[in-house]
Amino acid sequence: MTGKVVAAALNPSLDRTVEVDGFAPYGLNRVLCSRTDPGGKGINAARVLRSFGTDVTVTGFAAGKAGELLRGFLSSENIASELLEIPGETRTNLKVLDRKTGRITEINESGCTVPPECLRQFEENFRSLCSGAEIVILSGSLPPGVPSGYYARLTEVAGCCGARVILDADGEALRQGVGKAPCAVKPNLEELRVLTGLPLETPRGILAAGRKLTAAGISLVAVSMGAQGAVFLDGQHAFRAVPWSIPAGNATGAGDSMVGVLAYALLQGEELAEITRLATAAGTVTASKPGTQLCTMAEVMEKLPLVSVSPLEP
């Protein structure tokens, strides 16, 4: 394996998942079992990458006792971390998994405010990490105190260091980030619709929207569509992936798994069709799991033949 990945986790979390037998809103719910995992989109992508044997470093912010626990979790999974300490307490997100329905209810904190001086220090640290990286992942929500254009700024920094950027964000952070032409973006259907202003009622409509992004200098666009699969395109080719059927319910971490495996596939120099198959398999495996559990390399490779990939014509 060659190449190093830096995954930015600007708003990481501890994800506490509790399981109940029939979730009762506004009533008493007795917990059957619980688990706590490191969380946040960038960290999820990094954990998947590490399971694929990839050298990955997580950078971002951490605070308080929860931040110490977060560092400990990452260390236990042999994931290097360069998390800048800031005032406050790293957020804890609660996931309530109903065993009867397989559905999950998420209660997420917004995160602690990042002071301006910490943003400046982080950018210095980030620049240093990017100088030795081949791929940089910018993924997830921005915490309070971080301007919406910060991913755009980090995309510029990483690009100047020669790293390829994968951007997975939404809203204004995505819009401004796209303007800096990262290597790859992974919007879902709603994010792509808002970004391009185009209707996405058919695969061809999705392709037309994706082409707006490749025409703006983005090398690869990965559009996640939940149970309907995904569309991947570059400047020349486009593919539609249809996964195998899984029970409806939990999609926590599915998109992050796609991002992690997309980074892995780019490092391996895979062709677009195989990138499409690998990333879709990763997202589907994770979506089939309870709580915040993520796919492993062995599981993805086992399920790979079940993903149907076909060219998508305009």
CATH code: domain of residue 238: 3.40.1190.20
* Selection from 71, 50, 51 nearest residue 60 by Cα: 71
pLDDT for residue 1 is more than 60: no
pLDDT for residue 314 is more than 80: no
Strands 4-9, 91-98: pairing kind:
unpaired
Q: Which of 15, 98, 168, 256 is catalytic?
A: 256
| Domain housing 248 | 4-311
pLDDT for residue 277 is more than 90: yes
Distance from chain centroid for Cα 33: 26
Number of domains composing the chain:
1
Higher pLDDT, 290 or 135: 135
Predicted confidence at residue 104, as pLDDT, reads: 86
| φ, ψ of residue 269 in degrees (nearest 5) | 70, 30
If you average pLDDT over residues 296-314, what whole number do you get? 93
Predicted confidence at residue 31, as pLDDT, reads: 97
The percentage of the chain sitting over the pLDDT mark of 70, rounded to a whole number, equals: 97
Predicted confidence at residue 249, as pLDDT, reads: 59
Confidence of residue 3 (pLDDT cuts 50, 70, 90): low
Confidence of residue 248 (pLDDT cuts 50, 70, 90): low
Active site residue 256: yes
Per-residue pLDDT tens digits for 11-32: 999 999 999 999 999 999 999 9
Predicted confidence at residue 253, as pLDDT, reads: 87
Contact 310, 239 (CB under 8 A): yes
* Selection from 263, 274, 255 nearest residue 53 by Cα: 263
